[in-house]
Structure 1
Amino acid sequence: MMTEATQIPQIQLMWDWFINMVTSIQLSDVLDMCIVAFLIYKMVGLVRDTRAGQLVKGVLAVLLLYWIAELFGFGMLRAVLAFILPYGAMVLLVLFQPELRKAMEQLGRSSISTISNIQLFGPGSEAKEQERQKTQQLIDAICESCAAFSKDKTGALIVLERETKLGDIISTGTIINSDPSPELIGNIFFHNAPLHDGALVVRENRLHSAGCFLPLSQNYEISRMLGTRHRAALGVSEVSDAVVVVVSEETGAITVALNGQLNMRLTPAKLKELLQRELIHETEEKKEHNVSKILKRVKK
């Protein structure tokens, strides 16, 4: 039985060990822990928001079953699991392929990749104002067109490209490369027009390509009431930072897909407000933030 006299040296030893461990921590160790914590956080978010959560539960169940077989000496069960487990990594890669692809595409959309597209001291105030006016003209044309589509129940699908380039999607359509106007957008989605079934992709405030094919969403929790246009809009918003505007052919409802989420039943006024926030205000804030970070590094 331990006495009070023997407990004191042990407490002292534990305290000394703790102090030595804390004092031996370097900056690289802190960065290492932060990176690992960030990766774990992202993995937990990925598992929680997708069907990967059910797959993880299955993997844990198999590992638990193997541990029980080892504990109680179930020879046949242990042999079967020992044969299966070495191929587990390959099976997981196949099963998790959509989730892994989504994670890599999200990583590629980080702010680090946008620094190369930013001028060191930013564009002048006159150039900024011209760009802002062009964006506003685009928003006005889209909102006016969508208001008419909603009234007439004309289906439409418009993809506004941002930082993530959509060259593979653009290549599936017909290049038009035109200034935006409600008349042209109306002609593209006019019923029985050659390009009305596909998506219109907007690049750098210009109507770039029409009749494009989009990847359908892999989200199995989407309501069955939503049609192919909504699934396509959600699909491209899951793999890029694009803003996708949808007008339902059945109900005339206006929807915006953004970051894998659907903003449904928007009025033309709410649509304009959302597009201005995403295409003008948020873009300007990102550019100013990134430029300020670069200037700080230069000063250092």
Structure 2
Amino acid sequence: MLIHPPNLSESGPSPYFSLVRLSATVSNHDWYQTNLPIASDPNNPNARPTWATEMTRFIEEKQPIALAYRPVNPEGKLPKGDNDEDAAGDEEEEDDEDDEEEDDDDGSDWGSVEDFSKTEYLGEIDRLAGMEKVNTTRIRTWGMTASPGGGTHAVFVTLNSTIKPERHTFGGMRCRVLFGRNVAPLDERVLSMKKLSTEGRMWEWMYGGGPPVPGASDLVSVNRSARNATREKLREVALHQSCVFCGGSLQLQGRISRCGSGHSFENCASTGIPIIAPGSTHTCSVCGLKCLKPQQVKAMAQNSDLHAYIEKQVSAELCGGCGGKFMN
């Protein structure tokens, strides 16, 4: 359970709270509860933090019953034996198995497998689409916490199968930390009384809907202005690029560029130039966006007068979108 910061302009018989129960399943409708005012708003009855919406999506996922109960490994291989004849097998073929195949047995229940191409596998899903479907996922919530100002929440959950018993540790791949913003607005007076650190106020401003941080938020605005100026300066370079698949001209559409044939490319976060070649970018470790390497931008700019500008404005270490450091 979390106790939310109060709204000083309103008073009620009980504090604002949110709670989650251990099990979130499609049949348990009360696994998340809150008495925040916006939750009872008739104009927005389904208002929930992002993490709660994502958990709902997981537990409401369905698969055809025949497909849900059939074991499928991560490589897309399906075990042989869909009918009794295949399951019985041929004893003579089993006797002819060589030692190499026996050495490959890792003790799992897969046994002999048959490779299915992606097309065949998707075709089988289409064939089973008309069958009865079952929910395949239930979620256990092990903890919930809030940011210092109460603007964002995080929950630690594990995804479990509803089809068969599972045994996973907290170090397993099915553990998730989900984040979400508080659906109710923050009271700035409460934040001022908490005397948050600069980092705490920055977090609430960036992710929790808190007020701007004097000095730091102004710097972000300056960086945004510089990024827009760089994109405008290199706009002609961006418009000069063409689709590598069909040769058509590319139209800039926000974060992507698209040609007349429908081929799309991600745009560089620093320059707005379409990324049309692999291995030509850095990836930001903070926002996850891609930025073209300075030498790639200079190679695209036919006007040599832009090279000095590119060397000054396009960083090889920092993201032009958020200012974070690259991970590669």
Q: How high is the TM-score relative to the length of structure 1? A: 0.27
Bigger fraction of residues in strand: 2
Bigger fraction of residues in helix: 1
Q: Which of the pair has the greater relative contact order for Cα pairs under 8 Å at 6+ separation?
A: 1
Q: How high is the TM-score relative to the length of structure 2? A: 0.26
